[in-house]
Structure 1
């Protein structure tokens, strides 16, 4: 068994691709993986919804308290700007997806492009090395 990549979050060997995450460990036999492709998705932002909720709360409180309306509108504006910045500044995740036993699965995700590309190159090599060798008879003309 040849090891192509080994780290705490992923192991790529000639036989298996193993991904360890907080959600659990997933292992995929290399020979059963099809249509492996790379992609990028936006990460999840937890700050933006909280800031938008704070802005909405400020606007709700501004209506009955007329003497503090300028303060509440200012806070709502600051919270809205913060939500926009948090939403736009969220990290992009690199994703590695493939078809395993007829279903599309996410094999690996990482916000670190360098580590992600190391894992994807290792998986690509494992898949290519696992293919059966071509016979010279297949290439001959009849």
Structure 2
């Protein structure tokens, strides 16, 4: 039995993929349609920043009628909120998932927020699946 990856999150061998402890073990030969997906979690901090900018715009609109200088000052004070919201949006956490069909049922093999470890496990599983394929039958007549 060849070991492709062994770590605290998963073990990938030539016969079995085993995720974290409560997850079941999956036979490599029974895995089909292995897919990678990315799930983005929505953080409330981004929604709060957007709501704050909306409130600033709602307050600044009547001030624009009275004195454009006050409205511009209020908008300038709101710019740090816009910058913070943009930074939070760009740095939002993402979860990577490894999904497959196992004996006719869709299963989630593995998920992680650490992209480096996720890619290592994905590569190990890909190599295990490729090595588990039966060898191609070749005859001399096929070459002609």
TM-score normalized with structure 2 length: 0.63
Tell me if structure 1 keeps the 8 A contact 2:101–2:107: yes
Cα drift, residue 4 of structure 1: 2.0
Q: For residues 95 and 56 of structure 1, do their structure 2 counterparts lie closer, same or farther at Cα, with a shift above 3 Å needed?
A: same
Name which of 22, 25, 37 aligns with 1:27. Answer: 25
State the partner residue of 1:114. 116
Q: For residues 128 and 30 of structure 1, do their structure 2 counterparts lie closer, same or farther at Cα, with a shift above 3 Å needed?
A: same
Name which of 109, 131, 137 aligns with 2:133. Answer: 131
Q: For residues 75 and 32 of structure 1, do their structure 2 counterparts lie closer, same or farther at Cα, with a shift above 3 Å needed?
A: farther
Q: Provide structure 2 residue ranges, at least 5 long, that are not aligned to the other structure.
A: 62-69
**RMSD over equivalenced CA pairs, Å:** 3.7
Cα drift, residue 11 of structure 1: 1.3
Cα drift, residue 7 of structure 1: 1.1
The structure with the largest helix share of the pair is 2
The structure with the largest strand share of the pair is 1
Which one has the largest radius of gyration?
2
Q: SS of the residue aligned with 2:32? A: strand
Instruction: Give the number of aligned pairs.
Output: 136
Cα drift, residue 104 of structure 1: 4.2
Cα drift, residue 123 of structure 1: 0.8
Q: Provide structure 1 residue ranges, at least 5 long, that are not aligned to the other structure.
A: none
TM-score normalized with structure 1 length: 0.64
